[in-house]
């Protein structure tokens, strides 16, 4: 039998098609990976909850998904705060009052009043206790007043150790618990 060269050409074409298919898969995977990295870097993050200051809303060792695309914090937002060199870990707290809002905490009645309205806080645990910080009646520009939901066991804006938070130190807003999976829930 005589070799016509067509068989050799068919083998080369099959190898070339396989290489192209493999290249297509690899480039698709690389593109998807790049998109995931961009989203996780600039839009969402996963943060570990360390401690019990936000109990019962958030539990120690849960992982939460945060977004850093919200513009300004609002009363009631649960946020992650970077407090620079003062703390090793980011803090998680609830925004109680923002710049320009009036704030009054009645430690005897266990109530928090913002802009003349008592906050409805079904999420809190424990009595709201006084710490060593002077609480301003009006929140200064670019600052927020934060507290943990577990009021008796939270270091927050009521104390000088944390104090008022500069808005630029807010990393993002907590959107949901993502781990453990059986605890998945949205945070309001």
| Kind and range of the H or E run holding 28 | helix 6-42
Q: Among 53, 154, 157, 173, which one carries the catalytic annotation? A: 53
> Is 74 annotated as catalytic?
no
> Is 117 annotated as catalytic?
no
HSE, side-chain direction, 13 A CA sphere, residue 116: 0
CB contact at 8 A, 11 and 143: no
Give the CA distances from residue 164 to residues 124, 138, 171, in Å, rounded to whole numbers and listed in that order.
20, 12, 15
3-state class of 177 per DSSP?
Answer: strand
CB contact at 8 A, 185 and 161: no
Q: Among 52, 74, 93, 141, which one carries the catalytic annotation? A: 93
Q: How does 58-90 read in b/e, with b if 16+ C-beta sit within 10 Å?
A: beeebebbbeeeeeebebebbbbbbbeeeeeeb
Nearest by Cα to 93 from 139, 55, 135: 55
3-state class of 57 per DSSP?
Answer: coil
Known catalytic residues are: 53, 93
């Amino acid at each position: 039998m005589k070799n016509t060269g067509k068989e050799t050409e068919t083998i080369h074409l099959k190898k070339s098609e396989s290489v192209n298919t493999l290249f297509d898969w690899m480039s698709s995977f690389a593109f998807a990976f790049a998109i995931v990295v961009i989203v996780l870097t600039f839009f969402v993050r996963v943060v570990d909850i360390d401690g019990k200051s936000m109990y019962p809303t958030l539990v120690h060792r849960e992982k939460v998904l945060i977004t850093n695309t919200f513009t300004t914090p609002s009363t009631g937002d649960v946020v992650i705060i970077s407090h620079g060199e003062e703390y090793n870990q980011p803090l998680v707290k609830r925004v109680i009052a923002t710049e320009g809002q009036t704030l009054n905490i009645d430690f005897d009645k266990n109530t928090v009043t913002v802009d003349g309205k008592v906050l409805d806080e079904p999420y809190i645990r424990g009595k709201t206790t006084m710490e060593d910080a002077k609480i301003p009646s009006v929140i200064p520009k670019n600052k927020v007043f934060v507290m943990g939901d577990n009021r008796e066991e939270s270091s927050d804006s009521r104390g000088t150790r944390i104090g008022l938070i500069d808005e630029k130190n807010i990393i993002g807003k907590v959107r949901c618990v993502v781990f453990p999976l059986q605890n998945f829930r949205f945070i309001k």
